[in-house]
Structure 1
Amino acid sequence: MWIEAIKRLTVGVAIAGLITFIVLTVITFQDIEISIMHFWKSSLSTLFIASYFALASFLFEREHWSPLKQTSIHYLLSNLFFFPIAIWADWLRMSIISLLFAIVTFTILYAIIWIIGIWIQKRNVLQLNKAIK
């Protein structure tokens, strides 16, 4: 399990690095000036969030949990992890409207990604069943 966790963390760090590079490229070519501290906080936050999602995927491997329980716990933990970091990184303002908008947006994106994941899993199961026949 430790080796798999290290593999997933490596992927998470790579994704965070790619996101940071893309954001830095946009900032550079749009001639946007930001403070080093703001960029550092954003980069560190991206690293933490990517690492969290890389490791949180282990929740979906708990075979004695139902898919509903896996998804519910993952969604709840993701909210509890993401939003404090997003506020600390100054990605979100501390206002009810801002937080509600962010939670709705997060939930919609989470649902879209979840639906795509389920669709891929069903397609893989159908292909495996077809190969067995």
Structure 2
Amino acid sequence: MWIEAIKRLTVGVAIAGLITFIVLTVITFQDIEISIMYFWKSALSTLFIASYFALASLLFEREHWSPLKQTSIHYLLSNLFFFPIAIWADWLHMSIKSLLFAIVIFTIIYTIIWIIGMWIQKRNVLQLNKAMK
């Protein structure tokens, strides 16, 4: 379990590094000026969020939990983790309208990723069943 968590954390850090590099490249070539503090907060926030999602995927491996329980807990924890960091990083403003809009967008993206994940799992199960016949 710990080895798997370390592997996933490493992937999360790598993804955060890639995202940070892409954003830095866009900022550089678009000649956009931002403060060092804003960039630092954004890079650190990206690192925390990518690491969280890498580790939180372990929730889906709890075989004694139903898929509904896995998804519900993952979604709730993801909201509780993402939004305070996004507010601290100044990605979101502290207004009801801004937060509600962000929650809707977050939920739509989460749902799309969840549907794709379920489709891939279903396809894999069908392929395994077909191979066993």
TM-score by length of 1: 0.99
Distance in 2 between residues matched to 1:132 and 1:63, nearest whole Å: 22
Q: Deviations over 1:43-98 (max 9, x none)?
A: 00000000000000111111111100000000000000000000000000011111
Q: Deviations over 1:74-123 (max 9, x none)?
A: 00000000000000000000111110000000000000000000000000
Aligned twin of 1:79: 79
Unmatched 5+ stretches in structure 2? none
Distance in 1 between residues matched to 2:87 and 2:13, nearest whole Å: 21
Distance in 2 between residues matched to 1:22 and 1:61, nearest whole Å: 31
Unmatched 5+ stretches in structure 1? none
**How many angstroms does 1:5 deviate by?**
0.6
Q: Deviations over 1:6-46 (max 9, x none)?
A: 10000000000000000000000110000000000000000
Q: CA RMSD in A?
A: 0.4
Matched, 1:123 2:99: no
Query: Percent same amino acid at aligned positions?
Result: 92
Following superposition of structure 1 onto structure 2, how do residues 15-30 of structure 1 map, counting pairs within 5 Å? Answer: 15-30=15-30
Distance in 1 between residues matched to 2:117 and 2:54, nearest whole Å: 15
Aligned length: 133
Point out 4+ residue stretches in structure 1 off by more than 3 angstroms: none
